[in-house]
Structure 1
Amino acid sequence: MFYENKILNEKIYAEKLPNNLQVFIMKKDGFSKKYAVFATDYGSNDLEFISPHTKKQIRVNEGIAHFLEHKMFEMPDNSNAFDEFSKYGADANAYTNFNMTAYLFSATQGFKESLKHLIHYVQTPHFTDENVEKEKGIIAQEIKMYDDNPDWQLFFNCLKAMYKTHPNSIDIAGTVESIYKITPQELYDCYNSFYSPSNMALFIVGDVDIQETMQIIKDTVKDTNMFEGEITRIQVQETDETAQKEIQKELEVSIPMFCIGYKEKNDTINEDYPRIKKDIEMDIINQLIFKKGSKLHDKLYNSSLIFSQLSANYTSAKDYGYITIEGESKDIENTKNLIIEEIENFKKYGAEKEQFERIKKQKLGSFIKTFDSVESLANIYLSLYFKDENLLEYYDYLNELKIEDINSRLIKMFDKNQMVISIINPKTA
């Protein structure tokens, strides 16, 4: 079957294989680059679940999803999967975030061989006492490196201030202590649960023949699913209350850094409302209030309270959501107060219609350009797919958006009681 948006003149072929693996192919005639992402609906937040095999509840060590991603590149013959991609002329990579792990490659040549290899190695786990112990030292060094990274610490301290019990306040890589507890059996438990075809999806984009590509996939994937049904994840019951209002830390920075966070309330997270539409509304709100060209940005910049543009983002999943506003300032208290004041003004008086319409047109244009970037297209599509959303619906929701939707969302999302701040100060002698 095809998912199609006639206005965009774009369509995506979709087929679910007998083993329940979902495959998407987007044919882009004339594109020289081909791109494939093989992803699982599994990230660092998935720490507690019911094993689909034993039916017993399992609690795993923090950082295991990221650890598992690292180990997938080591093959049973001790070769490295990355090296094989190089032979075919492809560039490969992988990443783990809070909710998804993805394995990917891009190629202008050797695409068929690279696709077979991608599917093969992601389906070939190889964990031994020796190779797991070796990896612990490598990841421990990675964790220690991020301990001194101001941007990383600023962001995660903001999450720690917002969340009391939810695992998204935990570093994706875990802690040095947690990763040293990981065993090969624990890795296999997670792999056999979350790397089942029914919990994965494969997205391919480029100038490819759909039927030929589908045949390669069918000839390469394992025939059977690992289990029937869905994985039961143990959801943490996070309250609306924040963990603490402020976290400060000293690191090697020249100018103090801040990250203001607004924790989304549970009734808003659970509202019967298209998540993709809420994402669009928050994207426009962040542009209206915080980004370069806004009244707030110009006021802060012209007053020398900030020295570069503010960064504002909304992040959402099925069980959490938050807004972050980041910047650098020598007077964080005054900057914070002006940001809060501007947010409250928007809540009270609403957005200006002319400005809203201008930003909406910009977003429509930017979204259309997304279809020229095979990397962005594939990764965004799968991220939304695992949230039960369809990227091709984005244009319609954005096009139909009204200023009343924006003003309503402003009031729901920016509650001063839900606000926290993370600050990184320069180290003192």
Structure 2
Amino acid sequence: MKKIVNEILKEEVYYEKLENGLDVYFMPKPGFTKKYAILATNYGSNELEFIPIGEDKKTRVNEGIAHFLEHKMFEQPDGGNAFDKFSKWGASANAFTNFTMTAYLFSATENFYDSLEHLIDYVQTPYFTDENVEKEKGIIEQEIKMYNDDPDWNVYFNCLKALYVNYPVRVDIAGSVESINKITKEELYKCYNTFYNPGNMALFVVGDLDADKVMEVAKKVNHYDVEKLSSEIQRFYPEEPKEVNEKEVVAQFPISMPMFNIAFKDDKVGITGKELLRKEIVTEILIDMIIKRGSKLFEDLYMKGLINDNFGGGFSSQVDYGFTIIGGDSKDPREVKKVILEHIDQYKKDGLNKDEFDRVKKKKIGNFLKYFDSVNFIANSFLSYNFKDINLLDYLDEIKAVNFEEVEERLKAHLKEEYCVISIVEPSK
């Protein structure tokens, strides 16, 4: 095992790459009652075109298949459900799929090693039949229809569709009713065998546990033929222009107050590691300075009666795409957008406030340190960053190194009216 240490955080992580290619990380947390494990694959809903392992031709799969696959992983060959054993041992288990990652996780206060072995085992045991795939389609179809009726979900995804012309982040993570009904067990196995390759996965464990025992359990279960896993996964994404797809999207729902998402498309993409982390931190500081409670923009919008306490925003940072998104409720969303752009222009002319930068930066450092009391935050964030070639333990050093000039430069480079869109959900007429 290697040991990664951050002296400032007073945290350490043990790391080992197993023979099958799986990266295993363990962070000891002496005195913590809760223990947590997450096993994730570098595979999300954006992965629609790739060359399957063992093949030589590019294939395109149906939208929503990564989420569909996550659902099916809990069904076991013996007819049982993977959740059953977790419940028996008093562990709380879950899973999620986002644009770039699929993860399986649990937390427990007892019987942790049994639960960890089970987690690794069931994720290595796919069981897809024509019958259980057809049955799942009905379940996911209902989930899709539920989200289609959710105004929050629609205002967000309509915003992404406005931002992006081709990139698959504009596609709903669960796919559509039409796309999921085309999924077959053969297609599921093709995606599983390619992306649930341990060389494309990582395990993170955190808690008051023994490092050697964690590694022993991680090595105990291996259903893979290592010889078949040596290939690098070739992924393909459509070319995405710098320009946005459309400036405004409007939908109607039975709500009392209009909702909005205003977004800025990021054109500084294709970077990884510390450079990507630095861009994320700089942008987050910038957005906090401009829109958070106490800023001139917030006070202006609030005093004009254009926003309420639901107003907020943040930056989504990935290797191949990124965007700042600001959302809330308003009687006049277009006026909110107008005021935001006016304030941004004014900041570009007059400059940002250095004292405000120092305050936001200190607050961000404090919040980050506080998050290290949460085993969920540590594990989920570590793996999410890990797939972008970023070490979470470098985060604090990067925050401290960010300077005021970088934030001012990012303001001018990123928050441009030409890359700005608005999605509105208004009350049904």
**Which TM-score band (shorter chain)?**
over 0.9
Residue 129 of structure 1 corresponds to: 130
Report the Cα distance in structure 1 between the residues aligned to 2:225 and 2:291, rounded to whole angstroms. 50
Letter matched to residue 34 of structure 2? K
On the 8 A contact 2:271/2:319 being kept in 1, the answer is no
On the 8 A contact 2:371/2:378 being kept in 1, the answer is yes
Q: What do the CA deviations read for 1:294-332 (whole angstroms, capped 9, x no partner)?
A: 111111112211122422111121111111110111022
- Displacement, 1:271? 5.8
Report the Cα distance in structure 2 between the residues aligned to 1:46 and 1:95, rounded to whole angstroms. 15
Report the Cα distance in structure 2 between the residues aligned to 1:271 and 1:368, rounded to whole angstroms. 26
1:234-249, aligned counterparts within 5 Å?
234-249=236-251
Matched, 1:110 2:134: no
Q: What do the CA deviations read for 1:186-239 (whole angstroms, capped 9, x no partner)?
A: 000000000000000000000000001111111123364342132000121100
Which stretch shows the higher mean deviation, 228-237 or 72-81? 228-237
Report the Cα distance in structure 2 between the residues aligned to 1:132 and 1:270, rounded to whole angstroms. 36
Q: What do the CA deviations read for 1:128-180 (whole angstroms, capped 9, x no partner)?
A: 00000000000000000001101100000000011111110000000000000
Residue 8 of structure 1 corresponds to: 9
Report the Cα distance in structure 2 between the residues aligned to 1:46 and 1:415, rounded to whole angstroms. 29
Residue 345 of structure 2 corresponds to: 344
- Displacement, 1:350? 2.4
Residue 412 of structure 2 corresponds to: 411
| Residue aligned with 2:279, SS | helix
Matched, 1:144 2:145: yes
Report the Cα distance in structure 2 between the residues aligned to 1:67 and 1:92, rounded to whole angstroms. 18
On the 8 A contact 1:75/1:125 being kept in 2, the answer is yes
On the 8 A contact 1:297/1:309 being kept in 2, the answer is no
| Residue aligned with 2:178, SS | helix
Residue 155 of structure 1 corresponds to: 156
1:195-214, aligned counterparts within 5 Å?
195-214=196-215
Report the Cα distance in structure 1 between the residues aligned to 2:78 and 2:312, rounded to whole angstroms. 45
Report the Cα distance in structure 2 between the residues aligned to 1:313 and 1:190, rounded to whole angstroms. 32
Residue 270 of structure 2 corresponds to: 270
Residue 235 of structure 2 corresponds to: 233
- Where structure 2 has 5 or more consecutive residues not aligned to the other structure, the ranges are none
Runs of 4+ in 1 over 6 A off after TM superposition: none
Matched, 1:47 2:51: no
- The alignment yields a C-alpha RMSD, in angstroms, of 1.1
On the 8 A contact 2:270/2:321 being kept in 1, the answer is no
In structure 2, relative to structure 1, the CA distance for the partners of 1:8 and 1:287 (3 Å cut) is same
On the 8 A contact 1:18/1:223 being kept in 2, the answer is no
On the 8 A contact 2:83/2:93 being kept in 1, the answer is yes
Normalising by structure 1, we get a TM-score of 0.97
- Displacement, 1:333? 2.1
Q: What do the CA deviations read for 1:39-71 (whole angstroms, capped 9, x no partner)?
A: 000000000001121122110000000000000
Letter matched to residue 301 of structure 1? Y
On the 8 A contact 2:271/2:320 being kept in 1, the answer is no
On the 8 A contact 1:52/1:193 being kept in 2, the answer is yes
On the 8 A contact 1:39/1:200 being kept in 2, the answer is yes
Report the Cα distance in structure 2 between the residues aligned to 1:99 and 1:89, rounded to whole angstroms. 30
On the 8 A contact 1:32/1:206 being kept in 2, the answer is yes
On the 8 A contact 1:258/1:422 being kept in 2, the answer is yes
- Where structure 1 has 5 or more consecutive residues not aligned to the other structure, the ranges are none
Report the Cα distance in structure 2 between the residues aligned to 1:295 and 1:400, rounded to whole angstroms. 26
In structure 2, relative to structure 1, the CA distance for the partners of 1:23 and 1:398 (3 Å cut) is same
Residue 81 of structure 1 corresponds to: 82
| Residue aligned with 2:229, SS | coil
Which stretch shows the higher mean deviation, 239-248 or 175-184? 239-248
Report the Cα distance in structure 2 between the residues aligned to 1:390 and 1:217, rounded to whole angstroms. 21
Q: Residue 250 of structure 1: which of 245, 249, 252 is its match?
A: 252
Report the Cα distance in structure 2 between the residues aligned to 1:143 and 1:332, rounded to whole angstroms. 27
Normalising by structure 2, we get a TM-score of 0.97
Report the Cα distance in structure 2 between the residues aligned to 1:254 and 1:184, rounded to whole angstroms. 43
Report the Cα distance in structure 1 between the residues aligned to 2:391 and 2:303, rounded to whole angstroms. 41
| Residue aligned with 1:367, SS | helix
Residue 388 of structure 2 corresponds to: 387
Report the Cα distance in structure 2 between the residues aligned to 1:179 and 1:341, rounded to whole angstroms. 43
Report the Cα distance in structure 1 between the residues aligned to 2:97 and 2:7, rounded to whole angstroms. 33
| Aligned residues between the structures | 426
Residue 301 of structure 2 corresponds to: 300
